[in-house]
Amino acid sequence: MEQVEIKLEQDSGRLDKFLTDFLKEEYDFSRSYVQKLIESNDVLVNDQQVSVKYNLLKDDLIKMNLKEPTELEAKPEDIDFEIVYQDKDLLVVNKPNALVVHPAAGNPSGTLVNGLLFKIKDLSSIGGVLRPGIVHRLDKMTTGLMIVAKNDKAHRRLTEMLANNEIHKEYIALVHGVVEPNAGKINAPIGRHKGDRKKMTTTDINSKHAITNFTVLERYQNHTKISCVIETGRTHQIRVHMAFIKHPVVGDPIYAFREDMKEEFGQYLHAYKLAFNHPITNEKIELISELPIEFNDKINMFKE
């Protein structure tokens, strides 16, 4: 169980809707589950139990006990995604847009893990029953390549390789504005936003070292297509770093602009390339995932 406090800086509407939106990126709880938390006295406003319909006011203090449902488990489901590489130790999948990686209270089913359990007989157990085989994650609305471990030996080595920056991960993004330098390095520590739990931010307080290298691929009138190679793997790293230099990812509902929240595709960020030595055989593996059709449609629109 995790305890969270929120001090409101403005009137914020219905309690259940506000909390559903506030917790979406980190937990992706459904509105009905948030309502259950409120009704079970796990959410207090100014130390008082209130209705799900309570209208939040400026300076209200919300206290929450966040807990996962005890009955949560991952079951095999026929989920549509592509396996681009597979051997006896690992596989690499091409994660589509809007697919959550593993079950949680807000998404108890319909995740990549549910699909993996349907397609793959053996997965590593290190991640537990809800995250079998999951070595690293992509955000729900980020597309592209992800490594999945089939056994614990491969999982441990892949985790070590990630920590030592031995896995080359390259992303392609569409960002707002015309990025002037042809290439650059963003070296800015990332930590949890003090006032907004669903956001990360560049900060020196309770932060972690984070480096993103970017290269301009193509410039348009008001946007830029870039390649990003990350030296670290922090939550929302590319999204936070690009917003930090005033070029947020197009469609990002958290770090970009108000109009981006209307973008159904989400952020235009794609895990384009993986290159690494096999964790067991040491064989060189290099994989590329072409851009989703929505990317190319957006690029064509920028060129008009």
Q: What is the dihedral of CA 116, 121, 126, 127, to 10 degrees?
A: 20
- Are the C-beta atoms of residues 260 and 252 closer than 8 Å to each other? yes
Helices 15-22 and 31-39 sit at what angle, rounded to 10 degrees?
Answer: 120
Give 225's Cβ-side CA count (13 Å radius): 16
Residue among 16, 60, 89, 139 flagged as catalytic: 139
DSSP codes joined into one string, 182-199? SEEEEE--EEE-SS-TT-
Q: Is 21 one of the catalytic residues? A: no
**Of the candidates 132, 139, 68, 137, which has an alpha carbon nearest to the alpha carbon of residue 105?**
68
DSSP codes joined into one string, 256-268? S-GGGGG-TT---
Burial of 119 (0-12, 13-18, 19+ CB in 10 A): middle
Burial of 3 (0-12, 13-18, 19+ CB in 10 A): exposed
- Catalytic residue set: 139
